[in-house]
Amino acid sequence: MDNFIQELQRLFPDLEVREGVDVPALVVPADQLLALMTELKEKRGFNFLADLTAVDYPEDERIEMVYHLLSVPGMAEIRVKVNLDRQHPEVPSLTALWPAANVQEREAFDLMGVKFPGHPDLRRILCPDDFVGHPLRKDFRLQTEGGE
């Protein structure tokens, strides 16, 4: 896997590699995510988006997107991370590469407020349309009718 990572670093000079407990993590700027994911899927065999999620770090004013990719025939796994500005979290949609990203991106939008330009139908999926806020953010507080 070392040669593979070195090749990616040559293609994406801003790529940061972190050794994870279980699999390597590639940290990429948001504007390079789509190009990296296209490379991983089309040329490196990572054909399965296992999941995506968002993690809130209010003390750092960032939201971290985390993607887990698998190469089903190659029996390999990799993690990709993108750090976003917490006030305006936005990262390109991956629905054109992996249709399964559709529902998962809607969930991250609904619960964490991450926007995915290019998503075909970005709207709430779990909360009502008129719900205010993003309930998985660490500073979210449920408002009661009395305002408490």
Which tens digit of pLDDT belongs to each residue from 91-122?
Answer: 999 999 999 999 999 999 999 999 999 999 99
Q: Give the model's pLDDT for residue 145.
A: 67
Q: Give the model's pLDDT for residue 52.
A: 98
Q: Give the model's pLDDT for residue 2.
A: 76
Q: How far apart are CA 1 and CA 24, in angstroms?
A: 9
Q: Give the model's pLDDT for residue 143.
A: 75
Q: Please name the residue that has the structure tokens 């994911």.
A: 37
Q: Give the model's pLDDT for residue 20.
A: 87
Q: Give the model's pLDDT for residue 147.
A: 56
Q: Which of 51, 84, 88, 83 is nearest to 67 (CA)?
A: 51
Q: Give the model's pLDDT for residue 85.
A: 98
- Tally Cβ neighbours within 10 Å of residue 59: 8
| Parts of the chain with a pLDDT under 70 | 1, 145-148
Q: Give the model's pLDDT for residue 1.
A: 66
By the 8 A CB rule, do 72 and 52 touch?
A: no
Phi–psi pair at 140, nearest 5 degrees: -70, 135
pTM over cut 0.75:
yes
Q: Give the model's pLDDT for residue 142.
A: 81
Top-level class of domain 1-93: alpha beta
By the 8 A CB rule, do 109 and 95 touch?
A: no
